[in-house]
Every structure is written in structure tokens, then in C-alpha cells.
Amino acid sequence: MRFLLFLPILLLPGCASLGYQVGSRSLFGQDIQTVYVPIVEADPTRRHLAERLTEAICKRIEERSPYKVVGRPSADSVLECRIVQKNQRVSLVDSFNDPRQKSGDLTLEIRWRDRRSQDIRQFEPLTWNEGGTRITASDAMVAEFGHSLLTSEQNQIDRIADQIVGMMELPW
């Protein structure tokens, strides 16, 4: 009876020697340890948006991946981002033609490469190609529910940061 209780403990070293990993660390590549994230490129009118986006991406990488964000370009990898497009449009009007709901899109072009300037490629449909990969986050703003343009923009930033970390995972 006691032997059956200790059997799982005896089998654990066997799994470790086969290279199995447990936890979120197994979702990411082991050859990369550090990531350098320069300030997101944006036109001068969106400077504060670029800073907030860079901060969110760095925080999300630190929280949800084993990678360490460093402030030097000599890191194992470099994650470059550029704001390509930011749109706002009215998606719902009332009977007086006043806007009731607005929608916004934020599109980024991203490229993750290692220090040897080789692109780190992932599986379809989220591929890292020579020109970079475009990702978009959308959010709706309804003023009656207390939404503002700032909260809508922050939701877009958070979604973009989540998508970027998700794209850093290894394919299954």
C-alpha cells in the first residue's frame, strides 16, 4: 500500500530527464532570455499613446512570459512596434442623429527579431514576416455607460499587449 503512495514520486525524475516542462514557461522558447522594447514608433501627435503602449507591452511581457525586459539593444531579442493606424468612427446614432456609440481601432505593425537580425517566426495565422505583422484592437465607447475615449484607448492598448505576448508563445 505504501509503495503505491510513493510511486508518483519515483516517476517524477523520469519525466524531468525527458525534458518535459510544467507551467507557463513551457509555452515560450528557451533560447531567448531578454527582450529589448524600444519606444513604439508614432507620429508626433500620438507621442503619449506610444509611451503608454510601450509601457503596457513591457509590463505584459514581464507578467505573462519568462522573458526579462531590458533597456539595452544588446538583449537576446528586439521587439519593434510602429503605430500604423488609429481610427475613430460613429457606429450608432440616435433619432436626432447624435452619436450614441463610437468605435475605435488601433493597428500596430510589429517585428520580433533576435540579435543576429533573424526574424523569429511563428505559426499561421500570426506570422512574423519581413515587413512586420499587423495586429488590430478595437473597442466601443458608449458615453451613457461612463466610457470615455481614454478608457476605450486603454482597452485597445491592453488588447494589443495581450496579443503581442500571445504571439511570442511557441506553436503547439
**Above 80 in pLDDT, residue 56?**
yes
Q: Which domains does the chain have, with CATH numbers?
A: 23-167 (3.30.160.150)
pLDDT of residue 52: 93
**Above 60 in pLDDT, residue 64?**
yes
Give me the amino acid identity at 7: L
**Predicted model pTM:** 0.72
Q: pLDDT tens digits, residue range 94-137? A: 777 776 677 778 888 888 888 765 766 543 333 334 455 677 77
CA dist 147 and 121 (Å) reads 37
What is the chain's mean pLDDT, rounded? 76
**Above 80 in pLDDT, residue 156?**
yes
pLDDT of residue 38: 94
Cα angle, residue 160 at apex, residues 158 and 161 outer, rounded to 5°: 65
Q: What is the mean pLDDT of residues 130-147?
A: 66
Backbone angles phi, psi at 42, to 5 degrees: -155, 160
The SS3 assignment for 52 reads helix
DSSP notation for 116-137: TS-B----TTS---TT-EEEEE
Please give the share of the chain, as a percent, with pLDDT higher than 90: 19
CA dist 161 and 168 (Å) reads 11
Sign of CA dihedral 36, 42, 47, 53: negative
pLDDT of residue 167: 86
pLDDT of residue 101: 74
**Above 80 in pLDDT, residue 90?**
no
Residue showing cell 478595437 = 138
What kind and span of H or E run contains 158? helix 149-167
